């Protein structure tokens, strides 16, 4: 099987974010994030954006998404207000094309 040419690959961006509030588990944050994303951009937009939580530890994390949907995913991050009945604030710190640059700036 041949490799996919770089020009044919989907272009992704990595969004580094921070959660201000109590320590949260990855499963709790994932559930709330996808709930807010589904409400904001809908199921079709969510399937086109293809968000994926790469890393989440110590209230800092990285989300991978399609290049054209970065503003929508950043808004979905900011819409997360409660995780397990505790108030939180989520804000994005950096958007980058490589996970290495994002990881260096967030952690």
Per-residue pLDDT of 42-75, as tens digits, reads: 999 999 999 999 999 889 999 999 999 999 999 9
Q: Is residue 29 in a domain?
A: yes
Segment 25-31 mean pLDDT = 90
pLDDT of 15 over the 90 cut = yes
Tokens of 70: 């970065």
φ, ψ at 82 (rounded to 5°): -130, 135
Nearest one of 34, 16, 32 to 24, comparing CA atoms: 32
Residue 79 sits in a domain whose CATH number is 3.30.70.3250
Residue 54 located in a structural domain: yes
Domain-located, residue 2: no
Pairing verdict, β 60-66 and 12-20: antiparallel
Does 81 fall in a domain? yes
User: Would residue 60 count as lying in a domain?
Assistant: yes
Q: For residue 92, tell me if it sits in a domain.
A: yes
Enclosing domain of residue 23: 12-98
Under the banding of pLDDT at 50, 70 and 90, the label for residue 4 is confident
> Is 35 within the bounds of a domain?
yes
Of 30, 29, 74, 31, which is closest to residue 49 (Cα–Cα)?
74
- Determine the Cα–Cα distance for residues 96 and 80; give it in Å rounded to an integer: 22
**Whole-prediction pTM:** 0.91
Average pLDDT over residues 74-79: 95
| pLDDT score at 9 | 86
Query: How many structural domains does the chain have?
Result: 1
């Amino acid at each position: 099987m041949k490799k996919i040419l770089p020009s044919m690959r989907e272009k992704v961006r990595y969004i580094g974010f921070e959660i201000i509030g109590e320590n949260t588990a990855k499963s709790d944050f994932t559930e709330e994030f996808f709930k807010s994303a589904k409400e904001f951009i809908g199921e079709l937009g969510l399937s086109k954006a293809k968000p994926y939580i790469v890393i989440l530890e110590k209230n800092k994390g990285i989300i991978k998404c399609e290049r054209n949907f970065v503003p929508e995913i950043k808004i979905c991050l900011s819409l997360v207000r409660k995780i397990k009945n505790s108030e939180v604030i989520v804000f994005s710190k950096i958007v980058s094309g490589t996970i290495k640059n994002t990881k260096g700036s967030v952690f």
